[in-house]
Amino acid sequence: MCCSNGVKLDIAQRDQSLAHADLVQRAMGPEQDHDPSGWFEETEEVDADFPSGRCVGTQVRQTGCVFLDGARRCVLQTVTMAEARPGFNLKPFFCSAFPVTVANGKLWIDELCLEAPEGCCRPTPRGPRRVVDVCETELRHVLGDEGLDELRLAARE
């Protein structure tokens, strides 16, 4: 579900993906659009939730995000893992954070989760585990270690 609608990403992340288009193209399957000019929406939006204050969406095809291969794997993640070098990460921030998101400067669980099928990433009312435990990795990605510790403390209080 999370990859069906594409993703918004900071324009700096878009530019980094385009700068490494050769790596991305090599990881793509034959069914994918290998032309970088078709990977992102043309219109940039002003959005304070992104580091540069501007974002752009990935293009969406019938099968979902343009970066999904035939096995429904993200080629940006595939390239990042294959490169395995410190600081190199083409996977969009909010893809790594999902189902955690930021909207208007506030931390949320993405609304797509509320519509997700059972067993996906939908919250379970009065479930035995807290979001801060279930989404620990994603929250650490968004907040860092110190921010996660603060959130855990606030959740206990």
Give me 111's structure tokens: 């609304």
Does residue 119 register a pLDDT over 70?
A: no
In sequence order, what are the beta bridge partners of 103?
Answer: 106
Closest CA to 149 of 141, 140, 102: 140
Per-residue pLDDT, 111: 73
Q: Which residue has the higher pLDDT, 124 or 89?
A: 89
Give the highest mean pLDDT range of 46-60, 93-107, 129-143.
Answer: 46-60
pLDDT at site 99: 86
The alpha carbons of the chain give a radius of gyration, in whole angstroms, of 17
pLDDT digits (tens, 9 = 90+) for 29-38: 999 999 999 9
21-29 — which CB contacts under 8 Å span 24+ positions? 23/79, 23/82, 23/83, 23/90, 24/67, 24/75, 24/76, 24/79, 24/90, 27/69, 27/75, 27/78, 27/79, 27/82, 28/69, 28/75, 29/69, 29/70, 29/71
For the chain, which residues make up each domain, given as ranges? 8-91
Is 18's pLDDT higher than 80?
yes
Mean pLDDT of the chain: 89
The reply to whether omega before 99 is within 30° of 0 (cis) is: yes
Q: DSSP code of 100?
A: E
pLDDT value, residue 129: 80
> Torsion over CA of 115, 121, 122 and 128, rounded to 10 degrees?
180
Q: Up-side HSE of residue 121: CA atoms within 13 Å toward CB?
A: 16
